[in-house]
């Protein structure tokens, strides 16, 4: 029977489906009737999730409820989970089950039903427990459950798959219809219930992506930026210091390319030959185009590592490198000149050297695991575009991803997510992993895997920088070491306690950025440093075994010290005092009730709780230095209290990944760390975080606390030294102007490079990794290698805003046009050949004068249209009236991007 009273059905027109006629349901089979309620729910329930109201549209009563429920007084939204029973009825007395679900927004209250109790277990795992008022769910019934959530929900990826039900027998069963990473059948359109639900705030000035808005954006610089075919054929990504296309016919590579190298290792030559093979350019007999590669340091006096010269002639090419890096990069530049469609390259002269010594890409495999295969594929493309630092984020709250000899619990327990509330076998399910360890929520690299990755990277002239995130974001390690303690305590107490990461007497009540109350390791206990020392030694041994010295150790430090100093705010993902938002509900500072920390403070070694992060950084630095590792790195949170890095840290070199959004003062953060003696790797989240959406479209995947969109051009426009100039080019996350001021010229001396980041909270699969990273990685490589003419010199005190006109925007447009033409006409096909599933852009389109006009952010891709029955190639002269929707194809024509419906835009009216 219907569980909503009649007045509720009348009041909530959006849930009329819940008043369905149970007589219309199919007659259940005998097996279905005899199955338990959890079995029937798992097998037969469909689920939809939808946003009802984002907080920008909430009334005062709802805001008060938000505050009363423990959320921010101004930041809550409402959403609905609808349970659709497509099987036999679940009777009122069948209450021996619990429904678990994931929500990256902290769900605070169940609004429209007293049939369930809502609880948050830990992190993003929530559950609904039937109460005595549960009246069953009839066959054919839709039961809507409306919930209040902290913060906003603007993209479909805010929702998670794999809801599951647990019965009295303790067995967890995934609701089969939700056991997928394709959310298109689960999440209803964000704007379904309110056309403004895509907005974060009432004054949100962003433009919702549509066919017409995309057309306007993609064609804005058409009059400025005309690129000839010769220009894009000769454009190398990343752009060299100088290049000249010579007279003479292009070189046809019908027999492939033969490399004759002296000075390069066999592994590096093999890596280059692998790339040639991927692209169909392997040497075929004596007629292959000869490429001579040599190393000659004497010819490059005063030039940085990686410098080279390239000469391409009709009869062969010669590459001279300042060192092996330069020789390797010279071959990559020759390949960059190749047009695969014609299998030719122009004759050219190139002189080149890198801008920065650190040209990095970061991959988070802690939140969700990513396979060794996609890591190797990423390394291939990093090498192709001359990126040379792979920042490997190997642990986080949700997973430990590297085997450590002697500590098997780290991978036996810490790398697995399954349903075990005691967490003896695995971590709790998180981030849509559900109750089973059969998806990317679980996994790890063996010692052998890691050694293979190290060697593979070294052959491609890439340094692997391992990171194990501590003292915050360390729950996987904490839980694993507690499982180890329980296993050993009765047989060998000393061994059980040797690597514990907590003070067992600490009853501090805190809530981390990701909603955990047990995710911090304790910096006041000696066993913490025994653990870190063990970790350093074992990872160093892996590097030694690979023949690849461990040069840099990244200890993490992400989102720890700022939370400590603020008093432990309850915050949402990507949402903390550092990121511009705070919550009304205050908790204890981490470690504030730890007897060991109180003892340490009483001893005078530290004066207060907010010095514990500094203490941790110093002690880890000593362990790293003692292991003979020259460089230590951290996210800026982890070393914010260090006053002088050169004096206070034991490691010879120290750098900071400066990540704060520029419009929230990220440039000032970078300047502060330069002043305190740190080198900088510019990693600003609003330009260089590839987990941000690629356009303002709820169908895109991504977190968006730093940026509502970061497309290829936005990353391309980033000025790593004078970041203040970005205020003139792009608005803040809400589409409004902001101001920033340049530091002194000497600031540039502290910048060792830039780095792109992919955090994986909503990136569950390898395919999703490739979609998020590519082709943005190529724009990252451009800025890391090449300093553009439109980047302004540092002038201390110069202030930029949307109203200033210091930046030569026409020069930026021309530079982008050359880059995007090379990207679209040459490089995307190379990504296709390498099996990289890059994001295919969504086209822009308008109808003018009765004709359809289309645009893409980079040229060279084919379009096709849907005529109501089938997809067809878009050709000149197709009547707009015949076109239902458009989409772009990949460069090789084998994949299609997301479609855009013409009727979605008033400018596309064909009436």
| Helix (H) / strand (E) containing 211 | helix 211-218
Report the catalytic residues.
Answer: 559
CA–CA dist 224, 49 (Å, integer)? 45
Instruction: Give bridge partners of residue 358 from the DSSP assignment.
Output: 753
Cis, peptide link before residue 620, omega less than 30° from 0? no
Q: What is the pLDDT of residue 750?
A: 98
List, for the chain, all residue ranges whose pLDDT scores fall below the cut of 50. 1-25, 562-586, 904-911
CA–CA dist 397, 382 (Å, integer)? 27
CA–CA dist 773, 362 (Å, integer)? 10
CB 425 within 8 A of CB 502: no
- Rg of the chain over CA atoms, in angstroms? 28
Q: How many residues does the chain have?
A: 911
List the structure tokens of 645.
């890095």
Burial of 643 (0-12, 13-18, 19+ CB in 10 A): exposed
Q: What is the pLDDT of residue 12?
A: 34
- Phi first, then psi: what are they for 24, rounded to 5°? -80, -10
DSSP letter string, 8-23: HHHH-GGGGGGG--GG
Q: What is the pLDDT of residue 911?
A: 32
- Of 346, 311, 352, 347, the closest CA to residue 329 belongs to 352
pTM (2 decimals)? 0.94
CA–CA dist 22, 869 (Å, integer)? 35
- Of 444, 468, 583, 637, the closest CA to residue 537 belongs to 468
CA–CA dist 42, 445 (Å, integer)? 32
Question: H helices then E strands: how many in the chain?
Answer: 25, 35
Q: What is the pLDDT of residue 2?
A: 37
List the structure tokens of 565.
């100093």
Measured from the Cβ of residue 261, the count of other Cβ atoms closer than 10 Å reads 22
Give pLDDT tens digits for 222-277.
Answer: 777 677 777 899 999 999 999 999 999 999 999 999 999 998 999 999 999 999 99
E strands along 269-373, which residues? 289-295, 308-312, 317-321, 344-345, 348-352, 358-364
Pick left, alpha or beta for residue 681 (phi over 0 → left; psi -120 to 50 → alpha; otherwise beta).
beta
Give pLDDT tens digits for 274-306.
Answer: 999 999 999 999 999 999 999 999 999 999 999
- Of 853, 856, 790, the closest CA to residue 820 belongs to 856
CB 845 within 8 A of CB 902: yes
Q: What is the pLDDT of residue 143?
A: 98
Q: What is the pLDDT of residue 223?
A: 72
Measured from the Cβ of residue 879, the count of other Cβ atoms closer than 10 Å reads 10
Instruction: Give bridge partners of residue 513 from the DSSP assignment.
Output: none
């Amino acid at each position: 029977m219907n569980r909503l009273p009649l007045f509720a059905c009348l009041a909530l027109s959006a849930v009329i489906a819940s008043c369905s006629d149970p007589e219309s349901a199919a007659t259940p089979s005998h097996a279905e009737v005899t199955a338990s309620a959890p079995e029937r729910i798992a097998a037969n329930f469909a689920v939809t999730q939808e946003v009802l109201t984002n907080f920008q549209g909430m009334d005062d009563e709802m805001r008060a409820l938000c505050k009363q429920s423990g959320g921010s007084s101004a930041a809550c939204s409402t959403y609905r989970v609808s349970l659709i029973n497509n099987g036999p009825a679940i009777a009122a007395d069948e209450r021996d089950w619990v429904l678990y679900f994931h929500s990256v927004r902290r769900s605070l209250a169940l609004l429209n039903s007293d049939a369930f109790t809502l609880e948050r277990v830990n992190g993003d795992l929530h559950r609904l427990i039937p109460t005595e008022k549960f009246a069953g769910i009839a066959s054919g019934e839709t039961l809507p459950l409306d919930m209040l959530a902290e913060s906003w929900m603007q993209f479909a990826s805010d929702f998670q798959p794999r809801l599951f039900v647990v019965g009295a027998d303790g067995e967890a069963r995934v609701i089969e219809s939700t056991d997928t990473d394709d959310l298109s059948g689960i999440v209803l359109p964000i704007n379904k219930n309110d056309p403004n639900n895509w907005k974060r705030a009432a004054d949100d000035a962003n433009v919702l992506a549509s066919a017409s808005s995309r057309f306007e954006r993609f064609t804005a610089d058409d009059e400025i930026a005309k690129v000839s075919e010769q220009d894009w054929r000769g454009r190398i990504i990343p752009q060299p210091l100088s290049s000249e296309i010579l007279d003479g016919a292009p070189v046809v590579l019908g027999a492939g390319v033969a490399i004759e190298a002296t000075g390069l290792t066999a592994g590096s030559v093999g890596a280059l030959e692998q790339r040639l093979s991927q692209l169909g350019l392997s040497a075929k007999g004596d007629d292959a185009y000869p490429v001579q590669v040599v190393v000659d340091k004497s010819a490059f006096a005063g030039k940085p590592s990686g410098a080279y010269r390239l000469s391409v002639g009709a009869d062969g090419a010669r590459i001279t490198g300042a060192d092996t890096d330069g020789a390797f990069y010279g071959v990559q530049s020759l390949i960059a000149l190749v047009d695969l469609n014609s299998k030719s390259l122009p004759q050219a002269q190139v002189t080149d050297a890198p801008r920065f010594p650190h040209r990095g890409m970061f991959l988070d495999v802690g939140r969700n695991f990513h396979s060794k295969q996609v890591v190797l594929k990423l390394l291939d493309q990093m090498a192709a575009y001359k990126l040379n630092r792979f920042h490997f984020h190997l642990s986080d709250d949700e997973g430990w991803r590297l085997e450590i000899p002697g500590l098997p619990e780290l991978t036996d327990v810490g790398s697995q997510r399954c349903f075990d509330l005691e967490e003896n076998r695995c971590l709790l399910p998180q981030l849509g992993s559900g109750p089973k360890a059969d998806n990317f929520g679980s996994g790890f690299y063996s010692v052998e895997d890691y050694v293979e990755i190290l060697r593979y990277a070294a052959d491609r002239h890439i340094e692997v920088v391992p990171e194990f995130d501590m003292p915050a974001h360390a729950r996987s390690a904490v839980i694993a070491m507690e499982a180890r303690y329980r296993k050993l305590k009765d047989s060998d107490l000393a061994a059980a306690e040797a690597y514990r990461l907590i003070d067992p007497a600490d009853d501090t009540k805190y809530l981390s950025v990701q909603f955990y109350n047990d995710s911090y390791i304790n910096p006041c206990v000696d066993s913490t440093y025994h653990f870190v020392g063990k970790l350093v030694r074992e990872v160093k041994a892996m590097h030694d075994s690979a023949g690849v010295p461990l040069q840099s150790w990244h200890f993490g430090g992400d989102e720890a010290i700022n939370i400590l100093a603020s008093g432990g705010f309850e915050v949402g993902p990507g949402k903390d005092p550092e990121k511009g938002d705070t919550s009304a509900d205050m908790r204890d500072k981490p470690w504030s009730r730890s007897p060991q920390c109180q003892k340490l403070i009483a001893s005078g070694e530290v004066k207060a709780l907010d010095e514990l992060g500094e203490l941790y950084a110093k002690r880890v630095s000593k362990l790293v230095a003692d292991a003979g590792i020259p460089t230590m790195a951290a996210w800026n949170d982890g070393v914010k209290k260090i006053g002088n890095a050169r004096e206070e840290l034991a490691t010879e070199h120290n750098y900071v990944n400066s990540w704060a959004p520029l419009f929230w003062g990220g440039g000032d953060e970078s300047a502060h760390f330069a002043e305190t003696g740190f080198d900088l790797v510019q990693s600003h989240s609003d330009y260089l975080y590839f987990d941000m959406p690629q356009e303002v479209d709820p169908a895109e995947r991504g977190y968006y606390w730093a940026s509502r969109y970061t497309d290829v051009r936005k990353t391309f426009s980033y000025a790593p030294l004078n970041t203040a100039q970005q205020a003139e080019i792009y608005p803040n996350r809400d589409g409004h102007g902001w101001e920033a001021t340049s530091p002194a010229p000497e600031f540039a001396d502290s910048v060792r490079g830039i780095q792109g980041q992919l955090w994986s909270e909503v990136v569950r699969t390898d395919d999703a990794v490739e979609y998020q990273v590519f082709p943005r990685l190529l724009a990252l490589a451009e800025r890391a290698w090449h300093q553009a003419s439109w980047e302004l010199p540092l002038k201390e005190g110069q202030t930029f805003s949307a109203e200033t006109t210091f930046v030569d925007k026409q020069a930026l447009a021309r530079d982008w046009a050359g880059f995007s033409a090379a990207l679209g006409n040459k490089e995307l096909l190379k990504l296709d050949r390498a099996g990289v599933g890059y994001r295919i852009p969504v086209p822009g389109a308008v109808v003018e004068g009765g004709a359809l006009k289309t645009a893409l952010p980079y040229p060279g891709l084919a379009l096709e249209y849907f005529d109501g029955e089938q997809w067809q190639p878009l050709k000149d002269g197709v009547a707009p009236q015949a076109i239902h929707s458009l989409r772009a194809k990949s460069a090789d024509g084998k994949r299609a991007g997301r479609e855009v419906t013409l009727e979605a835009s008033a400018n596309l009216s064909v009436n």
